[in-house]
Amino acid sequence: MRGARIVLLTGLVALPVSCAGHAPTAQTAGTTTSTSPHVDSAPSAKPVPAEPRVGAVFLGNQSLHTCSGAVLDSSSGDLILTAAHCLAAGVDAYFVPQFASEAADSDFFHVDAVYLDPRWVTDQDPMADFAVARVSRDGGGSVETRAGGGFAVGPAPKAGTDVTVTGYPMGTGGDPVGCTTRTSSEDRGFPALPCAGLVDGTSGAPWVTGSVIAGLIGGLEGGGCEENVSYSPPFDGAVGRLLVRAEAGGPADDAPTVFDDDC
């Protein structure tokens, strides 16, 4: 998992807990051994300049960022995309676009509403590990204006597609890391991306081709248990329908508070 597990204590306090690490072999929800593609020469993520449309997701407070996300191009200008397992009902969350080591109070956008696929709400189906969230900040101004634009959403990339991923290792500061590489063959229906160094905190990081998000770190095993490969839920029409629902401002969803990545 590339995010943080959420442990709710007495229903009032949220404690993000980092995964222990990347297991050499991962297990599915049953006892089947993962057939994850092993890539001996996988590239490694390296520090990169902060991207205006990509940011860090803070859960529970404005100190510790636990996931990553991206600004969407929307009619309302106030929507972001992240992994569904990065959010939990009853726990405040914030988004800072173009986060770089530190942020002023005015840089934080509060997550006001979360829109989820019914499959995630019902049983945390990893195929639906994506979330659209509406955000706002004190003083006004949309997140899309702050970022200078947003990404469109497109279909899942085919194997061999060049993809750029930018995300934030979990912590209380720090800069983003990034990786540009080609997608590999799907694993159990999940697009796969061979790149080492996409560590805890990069869940929700967008897979970008041009100005289109074609995936995000999440899905199978919460994004991957192995160090050298990450996964995405397969983007299809469900992501577009979720975006339409969020733009319409319909009723939001309560994000589940428990998620097991099977790592």
37-248 maps to CATH 1.10.3190.10: no
Domain edges within the chain: 37-248
Cα–Cα distances in angstroms (integers) from residue 139 to residues 106, 107, 126, 136, in the given order: 8, 10, 36, 9
Pairing status of strand 152-153 against strand 212-216: parallel
Tokens 């990509």: give the residue.
54
Cα–Cα distances in angstroms (integers) from residue 110 to residues 15, 60, 107, 120, 258, in the given order: 18, 11, 10, 22, 21
pTM summary value? 0.87
The residues near 104 (Cβ < 8 Å, ≥ 6 apart) are none
Residue 240 contacts residue 156 (beta carbons within 8 Å) = no
CA dihedral over 244, 115, 237, 192, signed as positive or negative: positive
The residues near 60 (Cβ < 8 Å, ≥ 6 apart) are 14, 15, 16, 91, 92, 93
- Which two three-digit tokens encode residue 133? 């969230």
Query: Considering only CA atoms, which of 65, 44, 42, 45 is closest in space to residue 55?
Result: 65
**What's the CA dihedral at 247, 253, 258, 263 to 10 degrees?**
-30
| pLDDT score for 42 | 77
- CA-CA distance, 212 to 70, in Å (whole number)? 11
| pLDDT score for 117 | 98
| pLDDT score for 2 | 61
pLDDT tens track for 122-140: 999 999 999 999 999 999 9
All residue ranges of the chain with pLDDT < 50 are 5-39
